Structure 1
Amino acid sequence: MRFYIVDDNPAVRSMLEQIIEDEDLGTIAGEAEDGAQIDIALLAMKQVDIVLIDLLMPVRDGIETVRELSGGFDGKIVMISQVESKELIGKAYSLGVEYYITKPINRLEVISVLRKVTERLRLQHSIKDIQKTLNAIGLSGAAPAKEPSAGEKSIVSCGNYVLSDLGLIGEAGVKDLLEILDYLYRYESSNPLEQGFPQLLEIYQQIARKKLGPSATAAGIKKEIKAAEQRVRRSVNQSLTHLASLGLIDYSNPKFEQYATKFFDLSDIRIKMRELESEQASSPGLIRHNIKKFIQVLYLESKKLME
């Protein structure tokens, strides 16, 4: 996700930027100190997904800015302010602002709100992408990816094929998942997986060391492990959203039938399908992703393609 921060306080802008980057919530597309400095064209050029905007600013406040953006900005807007006026907050909501962060900035609140906004956008994007695909090909399933030829087959190429079936082309966590597949394939050459998969932490540690090189510090490895875990978790969630979307459109979709219950519990698929129908994210904790199971199934499905 790409964020644009609008606040006349540079300390607040810096704090929000740091939280977004530290938690790997997305990238900062830009920032401004007043609402008068942004418009629809700028946000479109910067490919902004989410705008965080202060309610009170000297030239053009948040309410007026949101009014200017309404109808032309397809992303989400998060209002930020220490003002607790119900009238002002009501105006913001009436203009389509669905999320609100209070000042002084609370790190946990920011993380919670931005994750909710991001998840909502991902749900909407997933539905739109699938509908576009279905309209383009005139079928009830996504366009098939090209399976690697016999001479091209490797654990990575086959894994990439499976991930594309799971709707993960272009996701940040795809590279991590392919690195994990490569590691597991090399690991299995001397450690039969019948004796058990390595622990997730061990896998992430190996991937982090490979990425950062021999000069990596313990702190650097720890930070990279945390970032990789978040990227993979988001990709797993996106895969669930993609499969649930296919099942919602056509329960007999071949990709849905082939992968859904292999990678995910049926109860989680049903919860995600209800989310998509209502366009409302479920309560936190209802879906608990089994990352290890996802990786194991991905590895086995990728190996099967190599045969």
Structure 2
Amino acid sequence: MRPVNFFIVDDSAPIRAMLANIIEDEDLGTVVGEAEDGSEVYADELVAKAIDILLIDLLMPNRDGIETVREIASSFKGKILMISQVETKDLIGEAYCLGVEHYITKPINRLEVVSILKKVSEHLLLEKSIQEIQKSLSGLHQIPVSSASYKSAPPSIVASGKSLLLELGIIGESGNKDLLDILSVIYELEKAGVRETPSLKDLYERVVEKRFGNASSTVDLKKEIKAGEQRIRRAIQQALCHIASLGLTDYANPKFENYASKFFDYSQVRMKMLELDGKSNCNTAHSRINIKKFIQALYMEAKQAQNS
């Protein structure tokens, strides 16, 4: 896979040079273009240069970052990161509504920039991988299958689930396969007329039975059920950490506002934010997580995305 392509827009030449040096020094990708004002940025140029990530200043003399993003939004499908020392909540909120992925504050902090660029690049690569998987699944969907074979959920419910796990920052966690299998099981049960979400124990057992059938001993199946439960718990803890970190960076982040209360108890999110901010000595890694609430929210969000 080719390196990530960056385009930098800022009216300060030293800022552009600093960002370019960080990208090159940390081997994050290639800076294939620069501009000193939003009026010099065109969507067709970004598409032609295969730009993956656009770094753009909020305030510029002729056309500011928000106006530029609004202008290119319909054609440019890459990730957009806004750079500014202005921290007005209304402006930040407007930027996020236009599709800006992250907000980098000035003066430039090297560690912050590296952390954000790595995270966005990883998400970008994961999204491309998911698109490839969806294409493969679409091709497989056209192949007739035996009526005697297990009728799994359509790729759309699993694909929707993968997109959500990506948003929650856990698509790379070992427990993501367990969560996707649970979505599939709930989907099949709902098609069979079961409206209430089964107990966690029942879900874990059904997932293991679906994977292994009668090929393993009872002892092995119990071990796998326990291991799967632990993988899921670790993945959900990581999702909590991801969402809390988004809220800590910016309370108006749309992902934080949308997912925090849906997937977690507010008290858990608040405790994790305080822990990450160094204002609490309490370690939430071993605190009780509402796994069933997370799974129910994941399924409802995936189903809604599937039907939209």
TM-score norm. by structure 1 comes to: 0.51
Contact 2:245 2:276 in 1 (8 A): yes
Gaps of 5+ in 2: 1-109, 139-154
Residues 266-289 of structure 1 show CA distances to partners (whole Å, capped at 9, x for unaligned) of 111110011111197624688320
Partner of 1:306: 306
What letter corresponds to residue 155 of structure 1 in structure 2?
Answer: I
Q: Say if 1:286 and 1:237 are closer, same or farther in 2 by CA, change over 3 A.
A: closer
Answering whether residue 182 of structure 2 is matched by residue 180 of structure 1, we say yes
Distance in 2, Cα, partners of 1:129 & 1:219: 48
What letter corresponds to residue 277 of structure 1 in structure 2?
Answer: D
Partner of 2:258: 258
Answering whether residue 250 of structure 2 is matched by residue 268 of structure 1, we say no
Return the offset for 1:133.
5.4
Partner of 1:277: 277
**3-state DSSP of counterpart to 1:170:** coil
Contact 2:272 2:284 in 1 (8 A): no
Partner of 1:157: 159
Return the offset for 1:211.
1.9
Q: Say if 1:202 and 1:129 are closer, same or farther in 2 by CA, change over 3 A.
A: farther
- For the aligned residue pairs, the C-alpha RMSD in angstroms reads 3.2
Distance in 1, Cα, partners of 2:112 & 2:212: 36
Query: Larger relative contact order (C-alpha < 8 A, sep ≥ 6)?
Result: 1
Distance in 1, Cα, partners of 2:288 & 2:119: 34
Which 10-residue stretch deviates more, 287-296 or 210-219?
A: 210-219
What letter corresponds to residue 170 of structure 1 in structure 2?
Answer: G
**3-state DSSP of counterpart to 2:277:** helix
What letter corresponds to residue 160 of structure 1 in structure 2?
Answer: K
Residues 183-239 of structure 1 show CA distances to partners (whole Å, capped at 9, x for unaligned) of 11111101242xx21111111111111222322211111100100000000000000
Q: Which runs of structure 2 are paired with 1:191-202 in the superposition (5 Å)?
A: 191-193=193-195, 196-202=196-202
What letter corresponds to residue 242 of structure 1 in structure 2?
Answer: H
What letter corresponds to residue 236 of structure 1 in structure 2?
Answer: I
Answering whether residue 297 of structure 2 is matched by residue 297 of structure 1, we say yes
Contact 1:271 1:287 in 2 (8 A): no
**3-state DSSP of counterpart to 2:289:** coil
Return the offset for 1:258.
1.0
Distance in 2, Cα, partners of 1:130 & 1:269: 22
Q: Say if 1:198 and 1:136 are closer, same or farther in 2 by CA, change over 3 A.
A: closer
Partner of 1:233: 233
Contact 2:271 2:284 in 1 (8 A): no
Partner of 1:134: 116
Distance in 2, Cα, partners of 1:129 & 1:218: 50
Contact 2:175 2:232 in 1 (8 A): yes
Residues 1-59 of structure 1 show CA distances to partners (whole Å, capped at 9, x for unaligned) of xxxxxxxxxxxxxxxxxxxxxxxxxxxxxxxxxxxxxxxxxxxxxxxxxxxxxxxxxxx
Distance in 1, Cα, partners of 2:303 & 2:112: 27
Distance in 1, Cα, partners of 2:241 & 2:117: 19
Distance in 2, Cα, partners of 1:286 & 1:133: 26
Contact 2:240 2:269 in 1 (8 A): yes
Distance in 2, Cα, partners of 1:219 & 1:266: 38
Distance in 1, Cα, partners of 2:259 & 2:215: 40
Residues 227-258 of structure 1 show CA distances to partners (whole Å, capped at 9, x for unaligned) of 00000000000000000000000111111111
Gaps of 5+ in 1: 1-127
What letter corresponds to residue 134 of structure 1 in structure 2?
Answer: I
Distance in 1, Cα, partners of 2:278 & 2:284: 16
Residues 152-172 of structure 1 show CA distances to partners (whole Å, capped at 9, x for unaligned) of 661100000000000002100
Q: Which runs of structure 2 are paired with 1:1-307 in the superposition (5 Å)?
A: 132=114, 134-135=116-117, 145=127, 154-193=156-195, 196-278=196-278, 282-283=282-283, 287-307=287-307
Distance in 1, Cα, partners of 2:271 & 2:119: 28
**3-state DSSP of counterpart to 1:154:** helix
Q: Say if 1:306 and 1:236 are closer, same or farther in 2 by CA, change over 3 A.
A: same
Contact 1:208 1:225 in 2 (8 A): yes
**3-state DSSP of counterpart to 2:171:** coil
TM-score norm. by structure 2 comes to: 0.51
Distance in 2, Cα, partners of 1:261 & 1:166: 13
Contact 1:130 1:246 in 2 (8 A): no
Identity, % of aligned positions: 43
Distance in 1, Cα, partners of 2:182 & 2:200: 10
**3-state DSSP of counterpart to 2:245:** helix
Contact 2:240 2:272 in 1 (8 A): yes
